C-alpha cells in the first residue's frame, strides 16, 4: 500500500492505495466523486478526462500513485461560488449533452483547449476534442457550446443559442 495525497477541486485528499490503483478509481471510489466516468479500457473514449495541474488527462490511464502531489480539477470543481463555469453554461444552453455520460470529460478537455487557444476555429475545436467520444450528440452542439464559452470567457458578444432548424 502507498499513501497518496492530492488536491482535488481545491481540497486536500489522502488515501492508502495499492500501487496498481488507477487514478479514475481513486477519484470515483475512494473519494466518491462519481462525475468522472469510465467508458473504455483502451484510453480511447475520454469519458474519464480530468485536469491534472491544468492539463487535461485521461484518468483511466494514470496510476493513482503517479498523481501524488498534483492538483486535480474534476467536473465537480468546475462551478464556483459565483455560479457555473462558462463551459457548463455553454453546454446547457446549446444542448451539447444528451445522456451526459461523456459530458464531464468533453467539458474538461474544452477548458484546457480554450485556455491555450481562446479563439479556436471550428476545425481546431473538432481536432481538439477528437480524443473524446460522444455517441449521442453528433458533436454539432458540442462545437457550438465551446464557441459560446469562448465568447463568454472573453467578454465578447454571445452567439445565439436558438437552434437553426429550418
Residues at the contact surface with ligand FES, assessed by CB under 6 A: 38-40, 43-48, 58, 60, 97-103, 134-137
Q: How far is the CB of 55 from other proteins (least distance, A)?
A: 19
Looking at residue 64, the DSSP 8-state letter turns out to be: G
**CA–CA separation, 104 and 48 (whole Å):** 8
**CA–CA separation, 135 and 59 (whole Å):** 20
Q: Residue 107 binds which one of ligand FES, other proteins, none, with CB within 5 to 8 A depending on kind? A: other proteins
In order, the DSSP letters of 8-62 are ETTEEEEEEE-TT-BHHHIIIIIS--TTS----SSS-S-TTEEEETTEEEEGGGS
Q: How far is the CB of 111 from other proteins (least distance, A)?
A: 13
Q: Residue 48 binds which one of other proteins, ligand FES, none, with CB within 5 to 8 A depending on kind? A: ligand FES
Q: Residue 79 binds which one of ligand FES, other proteins, none, with CB within 5 to 8 A depending on kind? A: other proteins
Q: Residue 124 binds which one of other proteins, ligand FES, none, with CB within 5 to 8 A depending on kind? A: none
**CA–CA separation, 97 and 142 (whole Å):** 8
Footprint of other proteins on this chain (CB under 8 A)?
A: 18, 20-21, 25, 28-29, 32-42, 44-45, 47, 74-76, 78-79, 84, 88, 91-93, 95, 97-104, 107, 122, 125-127, 129-143, 162-166
Amino acid at each position: 500500500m502507498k499513501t497518496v495525497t492530492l488536491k482535488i477541486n481545491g481540497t486536500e485528499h489522502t488515501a492508502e492505495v495499492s500501487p496498481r490503483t488507477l487514478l479514475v478509481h481513486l477519484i470515483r471510489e475512494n473519494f466518491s466523486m462519481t462525475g468522472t466516468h469510465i467508458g473504455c479500457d483502451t484510453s480511447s473514449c475520454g469519458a474519464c478526462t480530468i485536469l491534472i495541474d491544468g492539463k487535461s488527462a485521461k484518468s483511466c490511464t494514470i496510476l493513482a500513485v503517479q498523481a501524488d502531489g498534483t492538483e486535480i480539477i474534476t467536473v465537480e470543481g468546475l462551478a464556483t461560488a459565483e455560479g457555473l463555469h462558462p463551459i457548463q453554461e455553454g453546454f446547457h444552453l446549446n444542448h451539447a449533452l444528451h445522456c451526459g455520460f461523456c459530458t464531464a470529460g468533453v467539458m474538461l478537455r474544452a477548458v484546457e483547449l480554450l485556455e491555450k487557444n481562446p479563439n479556436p476555429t471550428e476545425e481546431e475545436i473538432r481536432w481538439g476534442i477528437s480524443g473524446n467520444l460522444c455517441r449521442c450528440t453528433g458533436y454539432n452542439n458540442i462545437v457550438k457550446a465551446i464557441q459560446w464559452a469562448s465568447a463568454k470567457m472573453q467578454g465578447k458578444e454571445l452567439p445565439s443559442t436558438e437552434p437553426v432548424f429550418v
